């Protein structure tokens, strides 16, 4: 199964009062082009797939990946796992009035989740092909 969607949306405040800004992943994605894991709910022991494409676009951080885990595939098809969430290490940020602007990040992983911190971060397309 292939899934596609927004892992981060620029300028949207999430439930932790974090806001990613356009360009915050650019340096990291250029420097480290290895395959990032697709985790379930940020659990490093639950790898359910891999991210085949991660890129910054005008709207946010776009990702496309292959899901291998049969249980996760079922819940994604049922739209119970429809959220995406980033796992990162912060390198540059600015805090004002309780909001944290994330200016430069190192992306560790992207998780599929039932309740994303940023409600705008969702799986938008599911391609039901067989995993390679």
In a domain, 85, yes or no: yes
The answer to whether position 83 is within a domain reads: yes
Residue 95 belongs to some domain of the structure: yes
CA distance 47 to 8: 20
Q: Mind listing the pLDDT tens digit for each residue in 76-109?
A: 999 999 999 999 987 787 888 888 899 999 999 9
Q: Is residue 88 part of a domain?
A: yes
pLDDT for 129 equals 61
- Return the pLDDT at 130: 54
Instruction: Tell which residue, 94, 95, 67, 97, has the closest CA to residue 5.
Output: 67
Domain count, the chain: 1
Q: What is the sign of the dihedral through the CA atoms of 22, 27, 33 and 39? A: negative
Range of the domain at 81: 2-127
User: For the segment 8-58, what is each residue's pLDDT rounded down to a tens digit?
Assistant: 999 999 999 999 999 999 999 988 878 899 999 999 999 999 999 999 999
pTM of the model: 0.90
Q: What's the pLDDT at 31? A: 86
Inter-CA distances, 84 with 8, 26, 31, 96, Å:
8, 19, 23, 26
What the block records as the tokens of 35 is: 């395959």
DSSP 25-62: THHHHHH--SPPEEEETTEEEEEEEEEEEEEE-SSEEE
Which helix (DSSP H) or strand (DSSP E) does residue 72 occupy? helix 70-77
| 97, part of any domain | yes
Q: What is the CA radius of gyration of the chain?
A: 14
Is 132 part of a structural domain of the chain? no
Q: Look up the CATH number of the domain holding residue 43.
A: 3.20.16.10
Asked if residue 24 belongs to a domain, the reply is yes
Distances (CA, A) of 101 to 97, 113, 128: 11, 23, 36
Give the whole-angstrom CA distance, residue 60 versus residue 66: 20
């Amino acid at each position: 199964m292939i899934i596609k969607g927004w892992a981060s949306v620029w300028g949207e405040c999430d439930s932790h009062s974090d806001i990613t800004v356009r360009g915050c992943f650019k340096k990291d994605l250029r420097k480290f082009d290895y395959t990032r894991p697709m985790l379930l709910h940020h659990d490093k022991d639950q790898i359910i797939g891999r991210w085949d494409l991660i890129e910054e676009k005008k709207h946010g951080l776009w990702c496309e990946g292959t899901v291998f885990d049969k249980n996760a595939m079922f819940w994604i098809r049922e739209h119970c796992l429809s959220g995406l969430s980033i796992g990162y290490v912060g390198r540059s940020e600015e805090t004002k009035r309780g909001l944290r602007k994330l200016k430069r990040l190192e992306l560790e992983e992207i998780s599929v989740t039932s309740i994303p911190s940023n409600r705008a971060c969702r799986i938008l397309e599911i391609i039901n092909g067989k995993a390679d």
